[in-house]
């Protein structure tokens, strides 16, 4: 197989979070990059700007000139570009196998967990850059400070968001690993929680004795996994609960719209940390970043300053704008625990405002499997609008709908709508001054907030 640094790599699904980040690193390493996707996403447009050739749609001719083809987990084997590459004898790799090749010779820092891994990885990247470690990093979202989701560095560290989908994280050899939490997700890959948990146990077992395993002590499963490896790698436990070795104390909202907390290490108060991102969960994420920084020999003062400058990740409590007194926020939350934490953060940041939660369920399998938990996740919202389910890689074969989800909620003000446009019309007729509209989901439901802002801004003055 051709050497990556001199090859032409074609990526099928280049607009997604996973492959766009890989493409970014390859471009910065001087590799020829092309790719295709059904929709040209903003990150794909950035790749085009910087020299990648990106096609909209899939066609056999798109693999012309490719030495290696990389396919997203969401791309089926019968994809026309995969079949053409195989017919021509061009090696075809799935994302996990290609990532393994990219990380060869590097010290890998991998961040896993059902929730929080994108923000935690982004925080660690911000710290490593501030400490002048010049890391290579791959994050599942665009960092607001660095305006990218990936970077090719010259240092020995390779930081990566360790995605559990399709067991991608089991292809890694982490020198340092973080587990933020372990709650059942991706039922299309993991039919039961026990299967899901075993995958995380396997991930933890990949850390060598001289490495670091950092686990969140607030999550019982992550804590148990850490305890089971106590005789192997250096295990450090972080979180918010009293008594944890690494913990955030006195977490409270601050004037910047984020949270402040005291960072404590083994009974020693290191100092005050001020974040610009809201929510107690982000204090926990920041503690994970401090644990990794300490393990890598980065002074607390450097890490703290980096975290203070951290402005978040796109689609993670991203304030999209304000019009006619209505604030629009978007968040990628698509699991019940994530939704609950995001709404709690919104309530802390906007304590006296009416909060509209506009939720787009993501995949039929997740919606059906976690229906009862979704029904209880919206207590901190004053109004709830449920959008049609975003199918992603699935087909509507499970007999579950947005109306089913809305009907199950024990909420006084919830309704299902037939389309994204219907949600916009409902909001235009109902939102008032000081309201907050929070779009929730991993699909295209953020369009509701963007359209709402546009139309509110275009209204004639009365």
Report which of 74, 13, 144 is spatially closest to residue 390, judged by C-alpha positions: 74
User: Using only C-alpha atoms, what is the Rg of the chain?
Assistant: 22
Query: Which uninterrupted H or E stretch holds 203?
Result: helix 193-205
CA distances from 180 to 50, 220, 238, 371 (A): 34, 11, 9, 23
Of 161, 164, 348, 369, the active-site residue reads 161
Spatial separation of the C-alpha atoms in residues 405 and 13, rounded to whole Å: 30
344 within 8 A of 351, measured Cβ to Cβ? no
403 within 8 A of 388, measured Cβ to Cβ? no
Q: Cα angle at 260 between 345 and 353, to 5 degrees?
A: 35
Is residue 438 packed enough to be buried (19+ CB in 10 Å), middle (13-18) or exposed (0-12)?
A: buried
Of 31, 114, 118, 121, the active-site residue reads 118
3-state helix, strand, coil in the chain (%, to 5): 35, 25, 40
CA distances from 410 to 237, 316, 362, 366, 417 (A): 36, 26, 20, 20, 17
The partner residues of 32 in beta bridges, in order of sequence, read 8
Of 31, 84, 114, 117, the active-site residue reads 117
* 118 catalytic per annotation: yes
Q: What is the dihedral of CA 310, 252, 347, 336, to 10 degrees?
A: 70
CA distances from 339 to 43, 113, 116 (A): 25, 15, 12
Is residue 57 packed enough to be buried (19+ CB in 10 Å), middle (13-18) or exposed (0-12)?
A: exposed
Q: Which residues are catalytic?
A: 117-118, 161
């Amino acid at each position: 197989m051709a050497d990556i640094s001199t090859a032409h790599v074609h990526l099928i699904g280049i607009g997604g979070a996973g492959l766009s980040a890989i493409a970014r690193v390859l471009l910065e390493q001087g590799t020829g990059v092309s790719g295709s996707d059904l929709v040209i996403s903003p990150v794909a447009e950035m790749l085009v700007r910087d020299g990648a050739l990106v096609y909209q749609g899939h066609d056999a001719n798109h693999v012309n000139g490719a030495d290696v083809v990389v396919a997203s987990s969401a791309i089926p084997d019968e994809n026309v570009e995969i079949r053409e590459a195989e017919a021509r004898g061009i090696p075809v790799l799935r994302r996990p196998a290609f990532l393994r090749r990219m990380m060869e010779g590097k010290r890998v820092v991998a961040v896993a967990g059902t929730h929080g891994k994108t923000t935690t990885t982004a925080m660690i990247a911000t710290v490593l850059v501030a400490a002048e470690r010049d890391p290579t990093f791959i994050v599942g979202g665009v960092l607001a400070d660095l305006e990218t989701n990936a970077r090719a560095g010259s240092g020995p560290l390779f930081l990566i968001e360790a995605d559990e989908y399709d067991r991608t994280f089991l292809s890694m050899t982490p020198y340092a690993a973080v587990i933020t939490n372990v709650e059942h997700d991706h039922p299309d890959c993991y039919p039961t929680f026990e299967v899901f948990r075993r995958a995380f146990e396997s991930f933890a077992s990949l850390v060598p004795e001289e490495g670091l395993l950092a686990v969140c002590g607030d999550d019982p499963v992550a804590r148990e996994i850490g305890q089971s490896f106590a005789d192997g790698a250096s295990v450090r436990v972080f979180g918010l609960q009293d008594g944890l070795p690494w913990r955030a104390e006195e977490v409270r909202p601050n004037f910047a719209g984020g949270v402040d907390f005291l960072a404590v290490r083994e009974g020693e108060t290191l100092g005050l940390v001020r974040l610009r991102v809201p929510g107690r969960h982000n204090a926990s994420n920041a503690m994970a970043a401090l644990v990794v920084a300490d393990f890598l020999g980065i002074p607390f003062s450097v890490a703290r300053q980096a975290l203070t400058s951290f402005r978040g990740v796109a689609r993670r409590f991203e304030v999209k704008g304000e019009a006619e007194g209505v604030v629009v926020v978007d968040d990628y939350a698509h699991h019940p625990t994530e939704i609950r934490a995001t709404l709690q953060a919104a309530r802390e940041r906007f304590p006296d405002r009416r909060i509209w939660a506009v939720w787009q369920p993501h995949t039929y399998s997740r919606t059906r499997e976690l229906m009862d938990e979704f029904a209880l996740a919206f207590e901190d919202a004053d109004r709830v609008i449920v959008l049609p389910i975003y199918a992603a890689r699935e087909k509507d074969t499970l007999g579950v709908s947005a109306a089913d989800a809305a009907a199950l909620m024990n909420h006084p003000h919830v309704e299902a709508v037939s389309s994204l446009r219907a949600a916009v019309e409902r909001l235009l007729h109902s939102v008032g001054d000081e309201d907050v509209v929070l779009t929730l989901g991993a699909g295209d439901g953020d369009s509701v907030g963007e359209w709402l802002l546009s139309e509110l801004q275009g209204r004639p003055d009365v």
